[in-house]
Every structure is written in structure tokens, then in C-alpha cells.
């Protein structure tokens, strides 16, 4: 069997995640670092506990064989220059992907740890 991995570059990193109820749905509101080194809008944004992906990355994931996942909308806020030194949070539409524990645990059975 052939396996693939995602390599997430931390040049696009999430500093803080908050969950807000908008139109009856909980949405992850992700604030990016306000630092040139870590605020690029990559296809997959680096986060400790979340997978935050754009539509391009989501399409690739959906076309791949993977364990079941839960998907919700996410809003990414990135500080961008408005005028000179003034900055404003600009929102971007992303997706918040999670792998429920009952499906993620089964992955360990696929790995040959002796190899």
C-alpha cells in the first residue's frame, strides 16, 4: 500500500482559534500571526490542534482515500496594512477539518511499526 503525507509549512500559521455561533452554526474564527514570517495564506494553515484548509486543499483531500472527517466553515483573519502603519483584519473563507477520534484511532492498525 502506498501512503502520502501532508507537509504543512509554518509560514502561514494560526495564533488563536475561537468558536463563534453564526447563523446557528459554530464556525472556527482563526487569527493569524501578525508577523511577515508567519502570515502567508497557504493552502493549509499551520495550527496546533486544527486543520485549516482552503478550497484547493479540500478538493485534493476529497479526491483522496482517507478516513472519515468532519468539515465546517472557518474564517481566517489576517492583519493587512490599511494606510501606512494602520492595519485591519481582513477575513478569508477557509475550512476547518477534524478527524473524529473513533476514526483516527483505526489508523494505527494500518501502520507496520516494525518496518
Give pLDDT tens digits for 81-113: 888 789 999 999 999 998 887 777 777 777 777
Q: What is the DSSP letter of 101?
A: H
Question: pTM here?
Answer: 0.81
- pLDDT tens track for 48-80: 777 899 999 999 888 887 878 889 999 999 998
DSSP secondary structure string for all residues of 5-48: -----TTBBEEEEEEEEETTEEEEEEEEPSSGGGB---SEEB-S
Amino acid at each position: 500500500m502506498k501512503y502520502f503525507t501532508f507537509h504543512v509549512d509554518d509560514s502561514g500559521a494560526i495564533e488563536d482559534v475561537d468558536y463563534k455561533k453564526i447563523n446557528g452554526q459554530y464556525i472556527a474564527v482563526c487569527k493569524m500571526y501578525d508577523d511577515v514570517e508567519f502570515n502567508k495564506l497557504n493552502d493549509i494553515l499551520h495550527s496546533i490542534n486544527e486543520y485549516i484548509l482552503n478550497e484547493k486543499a479540500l478538493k485534493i483531500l476529497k479526491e483522496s482515500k482517507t478516513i472519515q472527517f468532519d468539515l465546517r466553515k472557518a474564517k481566517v483573519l489576517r492583519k493587512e496594512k490599511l494606510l501606512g502603519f494602520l492595519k485591519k483584519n481582513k477575513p478569508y473563507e477557509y475550512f476547518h477539518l477534524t478527524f473524529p477520534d473513533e476514526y483516527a484511532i483505526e489508523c494505527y492498525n494500518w501502520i507496520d511499526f516494525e518496518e
